[in-house]
Structure 1
Amino acid sequence: MNTSDSLYRLFHSAFHLIVRQMMYRTSHHHGGQGQLQILSFLDEQGAMKQKLLAGHLGIREASLSESLVKLEAQGLISRTKDETDRRVLSVAITETGRLFLSERTKHVTKEANDLFSPLTQEEQQQLETLMAKLVESWEAEAALDSEPRIRHSQRRGERHRGHHHE
């Protein structure tokens, strides 16, 4: 097996182990990654209109609304109607939301420390450099490849076309 194949298999295994651990750990805490993203954004940017928040986060308003209902029920955000247009809702993180976000951030930092604890500080820095290089390359490729599924299937079709037996 060549090095690229070995790296691919290791990435694949690592990805599935990390996802499984994240899902297990997230299920034991209130709110998923999307809700944490909403809280973080509101904490950094301040209160804003719900429609604007959906645009900034790149999610549909209906999906955002569903998450906001859950966050509001937990007391992590507040939604208030605009004085001039009662149909418009302004969303803000509450003090309870800030405390929750702070605790989750501490928890994520602990998880990251645990995850990389088998590596020395120097190895962690090397891995960070290598991963940043890969991610930058993959992001650039993704930006150029606006239709990855079509292009991937076209490549598969081209690869298999030469192997058909008539």
Structure 2
Amino acid sequence: MHSSEFSKIWHKILKDYKLHMDSKLAPTLTDAQLTVLELLQERDAMKPSDLAPHLATSPAAVTMLLDRMEKHGLICRERDASDRRIVWVSITEVGKQETARGLQIRSDFFAEALDPISSHNQQLLLYLMGKMAVTPTSTRAPEGSTP
């Protein structure tokens, strides 16, 4: 097993990625905000409770994140016309511009990281990482249950 070596390399990649994203996105955007904007761009509008699982955070933290994003004009929140208890979050034009900027910053980071690796080995890396991305057996829901 090479899990210890893998863990060290993975940690370094994540640390480098976080430092890169934090420095390049600042001061108008954070990586968590970029994640929210990506989701909203794909789905048009979402409820705040639907965002929490994608951010691996609490509903209270999502509310604070959305407050900051709304203050900076990245998103808007509207009450549902038929059920006032429901709030819909959607992306603004400013949010769409920041999403494009953030995605370019992310793409540039990975392009630079992958540049020294041959095309064949990049494909192999994607294949292997895809295999790793499958949910481990220990965290899967039991057969027949609803996730």
Question: Taking every aligned residue pair, what percent have the same amino acid on both sides?
Answer: 25
* Equivalent position of 1:22 in the other structure: 17
Q: Where does 1:14-163 land on structure 2 (aligned, <5 Å)?
A: 14-28=9-23, 29=25, 30-51=28-49, 53-54=50-51, 57=54, 59-83=57-81, 86-136=84-134, 139-144=135-140
CA distance in 2 between partners of 1:102 and 1:135 (Å): 25
CA distance in 1 between partners of 2:51 and 2:110 (Å): 28
CA distance in 2 between partners of 1:83 and 1:135 (Å): 39
The structure where helix makes up a greater share of residues is 1
Query: If the length of structure 1 is used for normalisation, what is the TM-score?
Result: 0.70
Amino acid at match of 1:142: S
Query: If the length of structure 2 is used for normalisation, what is the TM-score?
Result: 0.77
User: After superposition, what is the alpha-carbon deviation per residue over 1:3-45, rounded to whole angstroms, capped at 9, x for unaligned?
Assistant: x3xx334312212211221221232224333222211111111
Bigger mean CA deviation after superposition, 23-32 or 116-125: 23-32
> How many residues are matched?
138
Distance of aligned partners of 1:56 and 1:72 in 2 relative to their CA distance in 1, 3 Å threshold: same
CA distance in 2 between partners of 1:72 and 1:22 (Å): 26
Which protein has the larger Cα radius of gyration, Structure 1 or Structure 2? Answer: 1
User: After superposition, what is the alpha-carbon deviation per residue over 1:64-102, rounded to whole angstroms, capped at 9, x for unaligned?
Assistant: 111101111211101123445555422110011011101
Over the residues paired in the alignment, what is the CA RMSD in angstroms?
2.5
Can you give the 5+ residue segments of structure 2 that lack an aligned partner in the other structure? Answer: 143-147
* Equivalent position of 1:13 in the other structure: 8
| Mapped contact 1:76–1:96 kept (Cα < 8 A) | yes
| Mapped contact 2:74–2:92 kept (Cα < 8 A) | yes
